[in-house]
A = this chain, B = another copy of it.
Amino acid sequence: MDPVPGGDSALLDPALICAVDLGGTFTKMALVDAAGGVLAEDRVPTYLSAREVGDDGSGSRDWLAAEMARFVDASLPALPGRAVTGFGVVVPGIVDRGVVVAAANIGWYGMPLAAGLSERLGLPGGVDHDVRASGRAEWQLGAGRGVQNLMFVPLGTGIAAALVVDGRLLRADGYAGELGHIPVPSAGDTRCACGATGCLEIVASAAGVERTFARLTGRTMTTPADKVAGLARSGAPAAVKAFTLAGTALSEALLTALTLLGPEVIVIGGGLSGAADLILPTVEDYLTAHLAFQRRPRLAVAEFGSRAGVVGAALVGRELIAAAR
């Protein structure tokens, strides 16, 4: 990964952050420099103690601290002159000032994660929501550099958004940004996992594209979204249709969100951003047809890809350490 702005001073800064993107299945770890460069990385299966031994999630926390220590010890010898000065962890859930209020996939409810890791690792650090932190990475170092108003929309298994307005990431106690669960006409009356009907993510997430394709082709086995994308590029009608539906639904949601929030840039990320060539033309056409007085945003594809989480985690850690000084 090329170094990005932050410039010479960032390259001379020897301090690294042990950055962690904790998922319900895999945990990604990286040592990240001040410019967002990833100097070492690893991926391990996530240990879900709440599911396996039925505890309060403290087993997962202790496992995570041990994995982070192991990763740092294994990686630093290859990076002479460097030191790890802090950590940043991002999780899929509601986070409030270092405490994981609720992360159902991990089994954490009211877990004081930042304090627990700090104590076990002997390092300062911060914890935040994964999508918000990934959005921070794209905004500060990636595809949305230099603007004050941005929406980062990762299209993965589900859909959420990180919202930047007036140069600040919106939080609202962890409730901001649930773009995947705003109702759009194109999603029809299908019921969403959240309990509501017609949510954006029913048709515009990677899982949504897979569902639409299976429905249109009558298959019972789902075809991975990247395979559906390949079929769409070779002109298979059902695959094209699945992506057109995803793009139209996304357009409907973005039109509403941008009317409320006025972004200069909308950055599309997540697994489905690899199929941006199949989605963004639909969105551009829709905006041309429907924008009235609103500011027209530039549409961009995320630069950090699957690394946005760890790069964002590093920014979270670094900001928290700077604020504590």
A: which residues have CB within 8 A of B? 148-149, 161, 163, 165-166, 168, 170-179, 181-183, 185, 192, 194-196, 252, 255-257, 259-263, 290, 292-295
Number of copies of this chain that the complex holds: 2
CB of B292 within 8 A of CB of A181, answer yes
CB of B176 within 8 A of CB of A172, answer no
List B contacts of A176 (CB < 8 A): 165, 260-262
Bound-state CA distance A192–B178 (Å) is: 27
CB of B294 within 8 A of CB of A175, answer yes
Chain B residue nearest to A176 in the complex (CB): B262
User: Given A165-B165, A165-B170, A170-B166, is A175 in contact with B262 using a C-beta cutoff of 8 Å?
Assistant: yes
Chain B residue nearest to A161 in the complex (CB): B260
List B contacts of A194 (CB < 8 A): 292-293
List B contacts of A177 (CB < 8 A): 260
List B contacts of A256 (CB < 8 A): 182-183, 256
Give the interface SS of chain A, mostly helix, strand, loop or mixed: loop
List B contacts of A257 (CB < 8 A): 260
List B contacts of A260 (CB < 8 A): 161, 163, 176-179, 182, 257, 260-261
What 11 new A-B contacts, CB under 8 Å, besides A161-B260, A175-B294, A192-B292?
Answer: A149-B172, A172-B261, A175-B261, A175-B262, A176-B262, A179-B260, A181-B292, A181-B293, A182-B260, A196-B292, A260-B261
List B contacts of A255 (CB < 8 A): 182-183
Bound-state CA distance A172–B294 (Å) is: 11
List B contacts of A163 (CB < 8 A): 260
Bound-state CA distance A140–B178 (Å) is: 27
25 A–B contacts from the bound complex (CB under 8 Å): A148-B173, A149-B172, A149-B175, A165-B165, A165-B176, A166-B172, A170-B261, A172-B261, A172-B262, A173-B295, A174-B262, A175-B261, A175-B262, A175-B295, A176-B262, A177-B260, A178-B260, A178-B294, A182-B260, A183-B255, A183-B256, A192-B292, A196-B292, A260-B260, A260-B261
